[in-house]
Structures are given as structure tokens and as C-alpha cells.
Amino acid sequence: MDRIIIIGMGLIGGSIGLALRAAKLKNIEVVGVDFDRGVLNQAKKLGAADATETNPTKAVADAALVVVATPILAFPEVFQTIAPHVPEGCVVTDVGSTKGQVLRWAAEHLPARIPFVGGHPMAGREVAGIEGASATLFQGTRYCIVPAPTASKEAVELLVSVASHLGAQPFFADPDEHDVLVAGISHLPLVASAALMATAAGSPAWREMALLASSGFRDTTRLAATDPALTRGIGLTNQAGVLRWIDGLQETLAGFRHLLQEDPEAFLTAMDKARDQRLLWMADRQGLNKQESDLPSASDMMTDLFVGRGVADFLKKQDQRLAEVERKQGTRSGGDSGSR
């Protein structure tokens, strides 16, 4: 019996538990860990865990995989707490929204004997907590896999397998690349959504506007309601990425504004272009999901092929990086191993 330990049974942790249990994997036990007994009771009731535990050090003692799904700013403490208790061969992963800082924390707080493979499922809801958890949250989405340079092939393959069982497609990225990409499609929309809300609600006419605001306003401001813990993690661990994209949005808006004032036809052309981009993206996205849901067997095959190719490509690079890391360590300390 292999045990998968999920530390933090919130929206993502709970959904991973539900999805893994729905996959009916043989010889796998899902253990939910949370300091809140109410959350654990609910996790059991919803079927998000086979067993529950409030003590993480006890829970990880015989784990095959530890998924750290607490708010990102708690990661250093969680890593420190579990480090001495994670057994040989156990892989540690996370579900944090940023990866650069997380990999630095992992390098700092986890001994090198523990393979760390960062993860980031590209799915979410504004309903925080186990209440919002769903077994299908990851269906048809991408699962970013960002391994520490020292992570083994087997550790990476394990996470690829987990992502596939969640119904997601693995997406390999470097930590910095991940953080910039995700800032553009996830963190910037959050900031823009909040800015839109603040702009409207800051108006002296907001009382009347609030009555008139309809589905368009509702959807564009949905992300403004994001769980503060998530916003906090993003704001404090991906500042550079977010700043860069705010600049990008400011530039686009300034361009739109200029055109609307000086050359409305050119403004409409720019709006049309954005529309085409949106329609194309949605068509690609729906095509992808359709393939996945309509043709389960063909899709399984495709996923396998994709995963196979992706893993092969990745592992080649990983080999080169490992060699580089070993070379550097050799140069610096004459063969440091065991702990960092």
C-alpha cells in the first residue's frame, strides 16, 4: 500500500484527494492532513481522503508522495517540519502558484536526499476551501511540473503519473519561465479584475452603477474575489512577474486610449483583433477538451504519447542539468552530497 499525503485540505488539496480517489487506483491510500479537524471531517465526508491526520510529521512517516497544498507562504515551515520525517524514496511536491521562490525554499529546507518536484495545477475557483473541492477540477487542464535540478527521473515520472490521473496534461517548465508565463495568464487577470472592481466601486456613482452592473461586470470582476491567501502568496512571491505584466497591460490600455481618442476606426480594429485572439484561443481550448472528453480511449493514447515524448525530452534536459549541478557542486565543495 502506497500512501499519498496531502498537507492542507483546501480547494486544491481537497480536489486532488477527490480526483485520486475517483481514479480508484489500486494499493493507494490518500491521507488528508490539516490542522483544522472540521476541515478533515468534511474531507472524509466528501470522500477526499481515505484517512485523516492532524500531525504532519506522523503522516509523512511512511509516505510515497507528499503533496504540500497549504497557502504558499506556509511552505518554508511545512518543509522544515516534515524534512526529518520524510522516508527514503518519498517524493515531495507542492501546488503553489509560483515556482521560483518555492524551489529556493525547497533547496534551503529539504535535504538533497528528498526529491522535490514542484507542481502547479492550472485550475482554480474563487470558492476557497474544501467546500469548493471537486474531483473534476483538473479535467482538461495543464499541470505545470517544475522539478528541482536534483530531482530524479523516477520522481518526475511519479508526478507526471499523478497529473495524468487527475485528468490534466503535464507541462514542463523552468521555474522562472513558469513564473512569468503564469503571471501573464493568471496573476495579471487577478490584478486587472481587482483594479476594475476598485475603479468602479471607488466612483461617487457606484451606488447607481452597482444596480446596473450585469453579467459582463460580474465575469470580469470574478477574480477580484480570489482567496486572500492565494493573492498574498502571489503578491509576495511573484512581484517581478506581476509588475512586468501590469506594465504590459498599462501599455496596451494607453494604446487603446490613444486610438479611441484620435482614430476610433483604428481603435475598433484593435478591438476586433483582440476578439479574434479570444475566439481562436477558445476554439483551441474547446478542441482540446472535446478530444479529451469525446474520445476517451484515443485521448488516453494521445496523453500517453504526449507524456512519453514530454518526459523523454524533459529527462534529457534534466540529465544535462543534473550533470551541471554535480559539476558545480564538485567545483565548489569537492563533492558535497547528502544535505544542503
For residue 6, report the phi and psi dihedrals to the nearest 5 degrees: -110, 115
Residue 247 interacts with a second copy (CB under 8 A): yes or no: yes
Residue nearer to a second copy on the CB measure, 115 or 170: 170
Contacts of a second copy in 155-174 (CB under 8 A): 171, 173
Residue nearer to a second copy on the CB measure, 31 or 117: 117
CA distances to 177, 210, 218 from 222, rounded to whole Å, are 26, 15, 6
Q: How far is the CB of 296 from a second copy (least distance, A)?
A: 21
- For 300, the grid coordinates are 488516453
Q: How far is the CB of 222 from a second copy (least distance, A)?
A: 5
Q: How far is the CB of 240 from a second copy (least distance, A)?
A: 9
Please tell me whether residue 167 adopts helix, strand or coil conformation.
coil
Burial 281-311 (b: 16+ CB within 10 A, else e): eeeeeeeeeeebeeeeeebeeebeeebeebb
Residue 128 interacts with a second copy (CB under 8 A): yes or no: no
Binding letters toward a second copy, positions 94-113, x by CB under 8 A? --------------------
Contacts of a second copy in 64-93 (CB under 8 A): none
Residue nearer to a second copy on the CB measure, 74 or 322: 74
- For 60, the grid coordinates are 509523512
Binding letters toward a second copy, positions 260-299, x by CB under 8 A? xx--x--xx-xxxxxx-xxx-xx-xx--------------
Task: Identify the residue among 54, 139, 152, 239 touching a second copy (CB under 8 A).
Answer: 239
The cell 518543509 sits on which residue?
79
Separation CA 282–CA 159 (nearest Å): 28
34: exposed, middle or buried (Cβ count in 10 Å: 0-12, 13-18, 19+): buried
Residue nearer to a second copy on the CB measure, 98 or 141: 141
Residue nearer to a second copy on the CB measure, 47 or 184: 184
Please tell me whether residue 62 adopts helix, strand or coil conformation.
coil
Please tell me whether residue 195 adopts helix, strand or coil conformation.
helix
Residue 196, CB half-sphere, CA atoms under 13 Å: how many?
Answer: 20
Contacts of a second copy in 129-158 (CB under 8 A): 141-142, 144
Residue 334 interacts with a second copy (CB under 8 A): yes or no: no
Residue nearer to a second copy on the CB measure, 252 or 337: 252
Q: How far is the CB of 104 from a second copy (least distance, A)?
A: 17
Using alpha carbons, select from 148, 146, 70, 143 the residue that is nearest to residue 109: 148
Residue nearer to a second copy on the CB measure, 202 or 338: 202
Contacts of a second copy in 184-223 (CB under 8 A): 184-186, 188-203, 205, 208-223
Q: How far is the CB of 207 from a second copy (least distance, A)?
A: 10
Strand order in the sheet with 169-172: 51-53, 28-33, 2-7, 65-68, 91-94, 116-121, 142-147, 169-172
Task: Identify the residue among 139, 231, 289, 299 touching a second copy (CB under 8 A).
Answer: 231
126: exposed, middle or buried (Cβ count in 10 Å: 0-12, 13-18, 19+): middle
The amino acid sitting at 44 is K
Whether 86 and 92 have beta carbons less than 8 Å apart is answered as yes
Binding piece for a second copy, criterion CB under 8 A, among 7-15, 83-91, 235-243, 299-307: 235-243
Q: How far is the CB of 136 from a second copy (least distance, A)?
A: 12
